[in-house]
Amino acid sequence: GPYVKHGAVYANIPDVEEVFTIGMNRAVEVLAQKLAGRRGATVAEPLRNLGDHPDGGPVQVMPGKYGPYVKWAKVNATLPKELTPEAVTLEEALALIAEKAGKSGKKAPAKKAAPKKAAPKAEKPTAEKKPGAKKPAAKKAAAKKPAVKKNAAE
């Protein structure tokens, strides 16, 4: 559709008929709206501040696309439907955050991964392979090309 361009910024003109009557003021206004919207979604304001987490940082109840959630540092925990943002307490929020942090498993897999890696290494030398037990790889038949047809006019 029709647009206005200034530098690297392209802004759509909402009404097609406006192409013939648009002036400098309206063009600048359309570009300004485009630039204001480009900066991304505005940072959501917390619905409620619950207080500080024992490890530091604020615990907040935030509005979300899929419902309210509790936020602390980089951990976001969805509020259950039976809890309303107004009724949630700091203790309930801390429990939700602890549960969510435990599910993410950032620390746990690192501890579990090291023993698992060591065990398979010990098993590999004990397993013996029989020579000649390998099956030869199956070869695919070459694709047939269609014959080139000669023109009758030649």
CA 10 – CA 30 distance, rounded (Å): 10
Asked whether residue 115 carries a pLDDT value surpassing 60, the answer given is no
> Cβ distance 2 to 13 under 8 Å?
yes
Tokens of 6: 């200034």
Residue 22 in this model has a pLDDT that exceeds 50: yes
Backbone angles phi, psi at 15, to 5 degrees: -110, 130
- pLDDT tens, position by position, 141-151: 677 777 777 77
Tell which phi-psi region holds residue 7, choosing left (phi > 0), alpha (psi between -120 and 50) or beta: left
- pLDDT of 123 reads 54
Residue 147: the pLDDT is 74
Identity of residue 113: A
Q: What is the pLDDT of residues 35-91, one digit of tens each?
A: 887 665 566 789 999 999 999 999 999 999 899 999 999 999 999 999 999 999 999
- Per-residue pLDDT at 110: 47
8 A C-beta contact, residue 48 and residue 85: yes
User: How far apart, in whole angstroms, are the C-alpha atoms of residue 111 and residue 113?
Assistant: 6
Amino acid 98: pLDDT: 94
Confidence of residue 152 (pLDDT cuts 50, 70, 90): low
